[in-house]
Chains A and B, each alone.
Chain A
Amino acid sequence: MILVIAEQRDGVLHRASWEPILAAQQTGQPVQVAVAGVSLASVAGELAAAEVEAVLTIEHPALESYTPDGFVAVFADVVTGTQPDLVFLPHTYQTREFAPKLAVRLGRSLITDCIAVKQRDNRLAFVRPMFQGKFVADVAPTGPAPHFASFQIGAFRPDAVTRGATAADIRAVDITLEAAVIRQTMEPPFKEAKQAVDLTQAERIVAVGRGIKAQEHIALVETLAAALGAEVAASRPICDSGWLPMDRQVGSSGQTVSPKLYLALGISGAIQHLVGMKGSATIVAINKDAEAPIFEVADFGIVGDLFEVVPALVAALNAEGGGSSGAGHP
């Protein structure tokens, strides 16, 4: 049996929870889904639509807000009690915080950020990116079951989850939780006030990464964006350095965008960036490294020096601005 740990907040299911459910279904093994919190009826009902053996609800007043200590304590009991062969989770920020501790408490380990599951030489192997997405690896757990794995958001299509003919059983799990084991006090989530730019509405985006090398070169990117009628965006390191404000960041910790055109300049394409832009309709990459992972998702690419290509692009766009594009045909 595979136990999937789903994620919810304030009675709203995290959509990424469907992905480990699908990964579990695809192995052909029976699947159970566990979810923790308070007032879980609606979330459990939603999860029970999937073809799974059961949905296990873990309710306790001390679980009203997520805490790593609370979640490690209750899921350690649930895993011990249900004895799954595998435990799957979505690779959310919350999973990253509690799941490694959960696995270690049970004397197990966790393989994170997986994008596929396969059989290899009669062993179960998890496929995951390595070296910032330049490579992937087939990784096999060692030691006794259960083995834990978390799945990268976007690696599976949530709408491909098999629905059951009838709703799955929903079972409340009896747990004891000493409130004293919880050492963290969580305050309500908030957004930084100055989220001035809504990149999700942009039709065209020019995004810049480490390849721009210095803050004074950002002007070059802005010139190209102006010529394209595009918004300027950036990968995380550019915002970390303060070269562009944080609200221009695309990726797992920034905005998720899907414009008509996404032009990536000097962005290598670490997975944290790709998850924020790979849904774009047309992706163009300009990068000096032909093996950069950004080319795995790009429709069009130029392998070259952006300091030569971008001025040429600006010139070409401005030259065609006079409406001559249709007139060149013989």
Chain B
Amino acid sequence: MKIAVCVKQVVTREWPLRVDDARTWVQDRDASFEMNEPDAYALEEALRLKEQHGGEVVVCSAGPPRVAQVIREALARGADRAIRVESNALATADSGMVAEALAAAIRDEAFDLVLTGLQSDDQGFAQTGVVLAELLGISHATIIMEVQVVEGGLRVKRELEGGWFQWVSMPSPALLTIQSGINQLRYATLRGIMAAKKKEVRVVEPPADLAPHHEILELYVPEKAKQTRLIEGSPVEAATELVRVLREEARVI
């Protein structure tokens, strides 16, 4: 089975986010970056499917040159080769633009299966994968928690709301968006890191006519829904005061 996994590079969770001077993005020039978490689960699922059924795992990412970092990491974890779409304009691009860039880069490869995470930790539009499926003209299913390879296609467990699930079958080729928690992630081994250096990375440019589908007018800190009463002091003082407040004012304990 020939599998593509699309991963996004996002600012790490630990990085203290600040709005930039233009007030349309965050200050990320000196930030540290990591693989978007749901995409890491998608990569792991691709590696497991290859181990069970054979084939090839190709990791794909679209963004500025720095996304080479998540490509290297994916290759170190076991992906066989990579396709990187390089453009600074993709750093803050909307999901439609990213999907168009990825579609152009992978269309000719005719993958049997394309995996993405269900959404990104930065913009969180939750639609790059679905749009990509439409651009590639293939079937898809979203928020997947289990993948079975069956005769002629796939049977996948789709998460619904509130603890419900549903099995869905479809022919290949297909695209799945993977939910976090579908598997347990592996770490790169030293051997994997060394091997990654010899693997093929094809760098391509995005289509020239790529244009945004919407515009971020302003990014800002949300208004608070509630006035939070912050309890100050040492840990012991704060804890004692919190217990008093919950007992005597909120009367919930």
Contact = CB atoms under 8 A, between A and B. Distances in A.
Interface in A40-73: 68-69
Contacts of B16: 291
Interface in A216-238: 228-229, 236-237
Interface residues of A, number: 97
28 contacts: A96-B127, A96-B142, A97-B143, A100-B131, A101-B130, A105-B134, A112-B124, A112-B126, A113-B125, A131-B122, A132-B124, A135-B222, A138-B216, A139-B214, A140-B214, A184-B169, A185-B169, A237-B180, A241-B181, A253-B159, A256-B162, A281-B250, A291-B221, A299-B250, A309-B239, A313-B239, A315-B239, A316-B243
Nearest to A259: B252
B213 A96 contact: no
B127 A255 contact: no
A204 B252 contact: yes
Question: Which applies to chain B's interface (DSSP): helix, strand, loop or mixed?
Answer: mixed
Interface stretch (A27-35, A79-87, A167-175, A190-198): A190-198
Given A100-B134, A135-B220, A283-B226, 17 more contacts: A69-B139, A92-B161, A100-B127, A101-B134, A109-B96, A112-B126, A141-B214, A191-B163, A253-B162, A253-B163, A253-B179, A271-B124, A293-B222, A300-B228, A300-B246, A309-B235, A313-B242
Interface in A281-323: 281-285, 291, 293, 295-305, 308-309, 312-313, 315-317, 320
Given A131-B122, A254-B163, A317 B220 contact: no
Contacts of B238: 302, 304, 309, 312
A158 interface: no
Given A68-B140, A136-B220, A143 B213 contact: yes
A280 to B, nearest CB: 10
A282 B124 contact: no
Contact of B226 (A112, A133, A298): A298
Nearest to B130: A100
A186 interface: yes
A67 B236 CA distance: 55
A295 B245 CA distance: 17
